Structure 1
Amino acid sequence: MRSVLDYWIMTLAPSTNAVSQQTRRNPSQAPRLLHRLHFFAGIICAPLIFIAALTGLVYAFSPTIESISNQEMLTVSKSASDTALPVREQVSIAQELHPDLDLSGVRLGDDSSTTRVLFADETLAESTVRAVFVDPYTGEITGDTTQYGSSAALPFRQWVSQGHRMLWLGEPGRIYSELAASWLGVLAVGGFALLWLRNKKPGRLRKMVRTGGRGRVKTYRRHAALGTVAGLGFVFLTFTGLTWSTYAGSNITDLRTQLNWTQPSVNASLTAAPQVDMHDEHAGHHMHMESATSGSGSIDLVAATAISELRTPLTITPPAQDGLAWTATENRDAYRFTTDTIAVDGDTGMLTNRLNSTDWPLAAQASAWLIQLHMGTLFGLPNQVVLGLLAASIIVMIGLGYWMLWQHRPREGWPSAPKRAGFEKPTWGTIALGVVVIAYGLLAPLFAVSLLVFIGLSLGVRFISRMSGRADTSN
């Protein structure tokens, strides 16, 4: 039985014999390169993609799980005679629990929702705030927990999100998810291209989705058919997932900025700054809370304007400094394609500015929709079901791929790999493939680095193979 080292030498080392000379201008050079890339990337990167798919399967349904498991905290019963307490009074009730924390916002829902009073807490992780849930009719506190990010995720969804994004390992763990996301798209596109080239007309697409046969052929066809059907979804997960990554995400942000595809901000400046006694030692630190409860800067005026101008759920946010207005923004919600924002003078309740989502650049609007699709919030439960099916498809695809490899093993030794392309004169197809790979590598640096490592390994094994061959000859 051949050793593991012998197998990798045979499969990784580029061919240098006469076969290479005969195929210098072979038009199948690019498909052979693509096949080997798909083969080895599938083996090496599949575990990372499997973990991302497994955590993604839970993440897909986390919004629904969150709403069901926290129903008593999130919802209230309202009778016809019930009247909501002033928002300022609800904030004061919540402040009694955390008198040392500054108000960072208030999330107002519909008649059956509790009010979330949000506080900035330096002891919490980045993008996380303290959230106190208040019954708007009785003033009863129904919950005291944390809220994460613009999606207003509660602890369970935040925990699942951290596992999906960074495997609960902090910032270093984001490397895993970025590698998984970047290679998922490559495998999906590469696999589809190989199937397209392998199946000739007529009836090409029909051949690509057939599942019959026996043994390894049946496994291969199921793997190929599932990839054909779900491949576009895999590409969608790749590019939307990369927006949250460390390195590719930074490049995507820079690109969007250069192309003016970013989400604009509402102008919150005021012509006259509110008067604050800066000699008061607490004026700066507690300005938000004072403006929320004082008569001169009533949060009730802001809330009334926000409710009349926007749709609930919405979040009103106090100004970060003097001379700025309060802002109110519609929260993301199922089947909501716009999230408009207004600026409101806290002293008068007058609307000072408005920014509608329809005024954003079209690419910025599309980016927001795609991100919500990835998070499973744009179309509610149906959205989550589709994401769950995509995650399950990835898991099944990986299982079929490994099973196909096992079925392909000879009675002795290790499974054979796709044919080596060797150092041949590149064809136009190979040049085009190289350009696409380089362009994608510039966008996704971790993909480029891992690909270079693979190429270096291939060259290293080739060197070992040549040295071993010379040693055998000399003996």
Structure 2
Amino acid sequence: MTTTESEKPPYDEPSPPGRCAPPPRPHGFAALLRRLHFYAGVFVGPFILIAAVTGLMYALIPQLDTYVHRDHLTVDRVGDQRLPLADQLAAARAAHPEGTVASIRPPGAPEETTWVTLAVDDVPPDYQRTVFVDPYSAEVRGALTTYGQWLPTRAWFDELHRNLHLDAVGRHYSELAASWLGITALAGLWLWVGHRRQTGSWRRIAVPDRGRKGRRRTRSWHAVIGVWILLGLLGLSLTGITWSRYGGASIDSVQQALGGTAPAVDTTLGETAATAAAGPHAQHGGPAGEGADFLTGADIALHAAHDAGLREPMWMYPPAEAEQGWLVAEKKRDWPTRNDAVSVHPETGVITDRVDFAQWPVLAKLTRWAIDTHMGILFGVPNQIVLALIAIGLIVLIVHGYRMWWQRRPTRGAAWAMGRPPLRGAIRSLSPVTTVALAAAAIAVGWFLPLFGLSLLAFVVVDAIIGGVKRRTPDRVAAD
């Protein structure tokens, strides 16, 4: 966004020839925010732009993902009755005996296939192999490398948005963008509100100055677009940080301290139940393949979950040990959401533990809903449209910001000279108490968001070095 109209020298067109009056020094909190907003826009702007472009792609991909992989997701003919899960598991393991069964997704509609997800070693970390089985004929429709619930196309764009396919190193880009996005947006809002208040145009805070020309017109559109999408930017910034490596760990710590983590189902059966369960597993066995001993009871667990009120879409997780039961969890992430989960004894079908979504702490529910909104899931197609509009608005906003920088370039001198940053001196104009308070706030936020803190420190150090060099070069002082 921009600064106040009354402070023309730092953010206005070059003065006409013949005017030699030195510009006034910047002062106050607004001047400090203006310099921060400028540096963030110039140096962090490219990272935010990449996140906006890849986020726009991701928001538009779900329907394409379903269409591309429709042969795996649907059957050719809907039969009269589905086969038992045990038969479908046997078919999946016969075709793909590698690895172990990590989860099963029963069909949620008559035309859908059953997903059998395998934990294997020949896929990238955090990825699995999912085998798709026709529930009426046990025909294996194929296998795909999946990432959680996402099929390959969506998973590819998801990873592009998260880390640019650069693994752990790439996550730094998205964390840097998410950390600065909200702070930069709030700083811009403060400056724009100050400008409107000083110019007596408070009611036009969300309306651009169409009658202006040049940089002033660009500035007004830059600021107004920011106002229009501000809430969306703040939401994307906060939820984006939850996935980050360092900032996400800070948020997890806060959630744990406030008791805001989602409760987990206890799948432990107990000594007596485990002993009773071990015999039938050994006697009847299960589908062929490594680690298949504990797949017995899939149909019992499915029927027990249905009797307990759980409905598709839901995922079933087989026991990892004889002392554990099946975990069956709803994962309906669109509104109204359903996230009830139960633990089922694999032989008797008794529900040994249950956690309903209604039992989740409010903070855990809000986190779940916020993340699903960020991913365009919670409200379906309208959610995707809003995300796409916010991403487009952010892209246009950033382009306008760089255009303003270009429009502020000197009209004489080097052909490729860039616009000057806002004048220095803002910190010296603040009171000691205000300076200490701002420093403490910066340290606290930097501790909570390490990449933000490190990049802010880099801005301060580089700016101090540049200022020191220019003070030692008298003929360049005026250029600052």
Q: TM-score range by the shorter chain?
A: 0.7 to 0.9
Given that 1:30 and 1:430 are in contact with CA atoms closer than 8 Å, whether structure 2 keeps it comes out as no
Once the two structures are aligned, what percentage of the paired residues are identical?
A: 35
Q: Please, which of 96, 99, 107 is the counterpart of residue 97 of structure 2?
A: 99
Matched, 1:418 2:430: no
1:50 to partner: Cα distance: 0.9
- What is the one-letter code of the residue matched to 1:190? A
1:210-254 Cα shifts (integer Å, max 9, x gaps): 241222221111111100010111111111001111111111111
1:7-54 Cα shifts (integer Å, max 9, x gaps): xxx99xxxxxxx99x97xx9x411000001101210111111111111
Given that 1:76 and 1:135 are in contact with CA atoms closer than 8 Å, whether structure 2 keeps it comes out as yes
Structure 2 unaligned spans of 5+: 1-9, 12-21
Aligned length: 443
1:439 to partner: Cα distance: 2.8
1:429 to partner: Cα distance: 5.7
Given that 1:328 and 1:343 are in contact with CA atoms closer than 8 Å, whether structure 2 keeps it comes out as yes
Q: Which whole-Å CA distance do the structure 1 matches of 2:158 and 2:65 have between them?
A: 12
Partner of 2:130: 131
Q: Which whole-Å CA distance do the structure 1 matches of 2:123 and 2:290 have between them?
A: 21
1:429-469 Cα shifts (integer Å, max 9, x gaps): 65554444333222111011011011001111122123233
Q: Please, which of 195, 198, 204 is the counterpart of residue 195 of structure 2?
A: 198
Partner of 1:15: none
Q: Which whole-Å CA distance do the structure 2 matches of 1:346 and 1:388 have between them?
A: 45
SS in 1 for 2:473: helix
Matched, 1:444 2:443: no
SS in 2 for 1:227: helix
Partner of 2:315: 315
Matched, 1:146 2:145: yes
- What is the one-letter code of the residue matched to 2:423? K
Matches within 5 A, 1:192-231: 192-200=189-197, 204-212=202-210, 213-231=212-230
CA 1:252–1:162 in structure 2 vs 1: closer, same or farther (change >3 Å)?
A: same
- What is the one-letter code of the residue matched to 1:407? Q
CA 1:146–1:178 in structure 2 vs 1: closer, same or farther (change >3 Å)?
A: same
1:88 to partner: Cα distance: 0.6
Partner of 1:39: 38
Partner of 1:368: 368
Q: Which whole-Å CA distance do the structure 2 matches of 1:441 and 1:269 have between them?
A: 41
1:376 to partner: Cα distance: 1.1
Q: Which whole-Å CA distance do the structure 2 matches of 1:310 and 1:415 have between them?
A: 61
Q: Please, which of 83, 86, 99 is the counterpart of residue 85 of structure 1?
A: 83
1:97-129 Cα shifts (integer Å, max 9, x gaps): 112321111101222211001111122223222
- What is the one-letter code of the residue matched to 1:200? R
Matched, 1:458 2:452: no
1:123-161 Cα shifts (integer Å, max 9, x gaps): 222322210011111222222112212xx0111111111
Given that 2:98 and 2:290 are in contact with CA atoms closer than 8 Å, whether structure 1 keeps it comes out as no
CA 1:217–1:470 in structure 2 vs 1: closer, same or farther (change >3 Å)?
A: closer
Matches within 5 A, 1:58-457: 58-76=57-75, 79=78, 82-110=80-108, 111-149=110-148, 152-200=149-197, 204-212=202-210, 213-271=212-270, 272-273=273-274, 274-275=277-278, 288-292=291-295, 297-308=296-307, 309-413=309-413, 414-424=418-428, 426-427=430-431, 433-457=438-462
SS in 2 for 1:412: coil
Q: Which whole-Å CA distance do the structure 1 matches of 2:157 and 2:258 have between them?
A: 33
1:86 to partner: Cα distance: 0.7
Q: Which whole-Å CA distance do the structure 2 matches of 1:368 and 1:276 have between them?
A: 40
1:364 to partner: Cα distance: 0.4
CA 1:141–1:405 in structure 2 vs 1: closer, same or farther (change >3 Å)?
A: same
1:417 to partner: Cα distance: 2.4
Q: Kindly report the root-mean-square deviation, in angstroms, between the aligned alpha carbons of the 2 structures.
A: 2.8
Structure 1 unaligned spans of 5+: 1-9, 12-18
Q: Which whole-Å CA distance do the structure 2 matches of 1:433 and 1:269 have between them?
A: 51
- What is the one-letter code of the residue matched to 1:392? I
1:314-358 Cα shifts (integer Å, max 9, x gaps): 111111222111100112332242311111000111222110011
SS in 2 for 1:262: coil
SS in 2 for 1:419: coil
1:40-82 Cα shifts (integer Å, max 9, x gaps): 2101111111111111111112222211222222123665x61
Q: TM-score, normalised by structure 1?
A: 0.86
Greater relative contact order (Cα < 8 A, sep 6+): 1
Partner of 1:7: none
1:423 to partner: Cα distance: 5.0
Q: Which whole-Å CA distance do the structure 2 matches of 1:129 and 1:91 have between them?
A: 16
SS in 1 for 2:95: coil
CA 1:350–1:97 in structure 2 vs 1: closer, same or farther (change >3 Å)?
A: same
Q: Which whole-Å CA distance do the structure 2 matches of 1:462 and 1:190 have between them?
A: 23
CA 1:331–1:420 in structure 2 vs 1: closer, same or farther (change >3 Å)?
A: same
CA 1:470–1:71 in structure 2 vs 1: closer, same or farther (change >3 Å)?
A: closer
SS in 2 for 1:424: helix
Given that 1:209 and 1:224 are in contact with CA atoms closer than 8 Å, whether structure 2 keeps it comes out as no
CA 1:30–1:304 in structure 2 vs 1: closer, same or farther (change >3 Å)?
A: same
Q: Which whole-Å CA distance do the structure 1 matches of 2:397 and 2:476 have between them?
A: 42
Q: Which whole-Å CA distance do the structure 1 matches of 2:88 and 2:203 have between them?
A: 60
Relative to structure 2, which stretch is displaced further, 204-213 or 95-104? 204-213
Q: Which whole-Å CA distance do the structure 2 matches of 1:64 and 1:446 have between them?
A: 34
Given that 1:185 and 1:235 are in contact with CA atoms closer than 8 Å, whether structure 2 keeps it comes out as yes
